[in-house]
Amino acid sequence: MAAAGGYYLGVDLSTQQLKAIAIDDNLNVIHETSVKFDDDLPEFGTQDGAHVHSDKLTVTTPVLLWVKALDMLLERMKISNFDFSKLKSLSGTGQQHGSVYWKEGAIQTLKNMPDDRSLHQILETSFAVKESPIWMDSSTTEECLQLEKSVGGPQNLADITGSRAYERFTGNQIAKINKKNPEDYKKTERISLVSSFVASLFLGDYAAIDYSDGSGMNLMDIRAHNWSQRCLDACAPGLKEKLGAPLPSHSILGSVSPYYVKRFGFNSECKVIAFTGDNPASLAGMQLQRGDIASTIFLRLGFPVVSMRLFIEFFSFKNGSLTREKIRDESASGSWDEFAKALKATCPGNNGNLGFYFDVMEITPAVVGIHRFNAKNCKVSKFPKEVDVRAVIEGQMLAKRAYAEKLGFEVLKDTRVLATGGASSNPDILQVLADVFNAPVYTRDTTNSACLGCAYRAKHGLQAASGQSFADTMKNAPEPKVAVTPACEVDKVYGPMLARYMELEKLVRNNC
């Protein structure tokens, strides 16, 4: 039996690592563990957690890497004497849009996992597709055009699913697999998103896709909260049965598999709450208030429509932390300390030098390549190293503000920027973020907001059954703290620079 006072576990399978955070009944973090794919599982040969194929558009990750990472994560928690018996519930998240293809008969393997073997040994032959397409994949332009055509155009598709066709979205990835590898598709009995895949591992059964993550597939009728048959038919035959029925994001899927009870000492009553995508999970971990903006471009906006209603919007970008790391390696000897010195050696505005750094095809704008401009708006081939460092940071932060303003954001006296992810622990990068937005930047004690959000969601999932709201669950959660404030009158620099950035982005987009 579990001891008095329970724990709640959040798990995050991101692009580069698998992380876990446990909280107690008072929402305090009591444990954190991670497995870094490139470092801890080098036998899979990934770079930054993925395989980029020769066409530079196809990007995948081996499914068994993720399975073996969960083996390693739980073993590390066990070695650290984490008390699994106190877990009341768990939930989690996965990088959005990625897909996993379970082979015929895999359900029986999941339901009958012997506790004397590791997960990756048990599931080694359970997948029809060995390499899962992930969110960085841009190889499905043809399938996107076909999907839009089949429903009467991009606007009609957006009216149904909430988005025009995007190359990374799961429906288009499924269509490509059905077209290029039809035998693999025929052998598939269930298709999971990365989020519902990890939930399935814990559940010992196929886990339902939640509404939130399911809405990023170009397959769901977002008003009916169910799959659109027109979209399904346009992608692959028999797809509805392979996906299963979607469920609300707070749903209790069942109790954890007996495998975890016997092998790790989980409480047999520990509930598995529906897993979701990394963006909504991050949102759950941030506790945005009206007028806030998060560093991944979540906005909580208030609009006077008869009565005040709250809307949450977000933009995501591919070229983020990995692009910063590349410039760090090229221009700062691979050292964050040297990177910080370069930032401090240059002034806000970078003397008019401005850059666009897209190592892979960006989502918005759909552009690839490095594009540098001097103060006269002339394109140049390179910058001095310290100028390059500031240019990549300022360019990323200006992009965040530019797209935030397109959604209706404006800086007010009470505006807060909530930073998360690896950059949230770097005060020099946060200073540029604060300066560009002309608003204070807040952070939490943990940088893993998605993982923390899922630990919160795990607790709320138990309480939602009795009608308790997520806000009620979170009322005693620790508040974020001010990390940096904007420099005085810095908006006089970045205000004009923002308008110039948008004009140059238009030029880059048209030229590409």
CATH topology of domain 315-444+482-511: Nucleotidyltransferase; domain 5 (3.30.420)
- β pairing state of 276-277 and 87-94: parallel
- Residue 116: per-residue pLDDT: 97
- Residue with tokens 């003397």, as numbered in its chain: 351
- Residue 318: per-residue pLDDT: 65
Name the nearest CA neighbour of 86 among 265, 250, 337. 265
* pLDDT tens column, 398-412: 998 888 888 777 777
Is the separation of the CB atoms in 311 and 298 below 8 Å? no
∠ CA(247), CA(248), CA(249), 5° rounding? Answer: 115
| Rounded CA Rg of the chain | 23
Question: Which one-letter DSSP state was computed for residue 363?
Answer: S
pTM: 0.79
Dist CA 467 CA 473 (whole Å): 11
Question: Which one-letter DSSP state was computed for residue 488?
Answer: T
- Residue 311: per-residue pLDDT: 31
Dist CA 140 CA 280 (whole Å): 25
Ordered mean pLDDT values, 10 residues apiece, the chain (512 residues)? 73 96 95 97 97 95 98 98 97 96 98 98 98 96 97 96 94 98 98 98 98 96 96 98 96 98 98 92 71 50 30 53 88 93 93 89 77 94 95 92 81 80 78 92 80 94 90 85 90 93 90 78
Question: Which one-letter DSSP state was computed for residue 73?
Answer: H
φ, ψ for residue 7, nearest 5 deg: -115, 160
Dist CA 219 CA 92 (whole Å): 22
φ, ψ for residue 449, nearest 5 deg: -65, -35
Is the separation of the CB atoms in 103 and 123 below 8 Å? no
* pLDDT tens column, 59-108: 999 999 999 999 999 999 999 999 999 999 999 999 999 999 999 999 99
Is the separation of the CB atoms in 441 and 413 below 8 Å? no
- Residue with tokens 């709201």, as numbered in its chain: 469
- β pairing state of 17-24 and 29-36: antiparallel
Tokens of 122: 């048990």
CATH topology of domain 7-285: Nucleotidyltransferase; domain 5 (3.30.420)
Dist CA 258 CA 267 (whole Å): 9
Is the separation of the CB atoms in 187 and 102 below 8 Å? no
Dist CA 93 CA 90 (whole Å): 11
Dist CA 107 CA 277 (whole Å): 23
All CATH 3.30.420.40 domain ranges of the chain, comma separated, are 7-285, 315-444+482-511
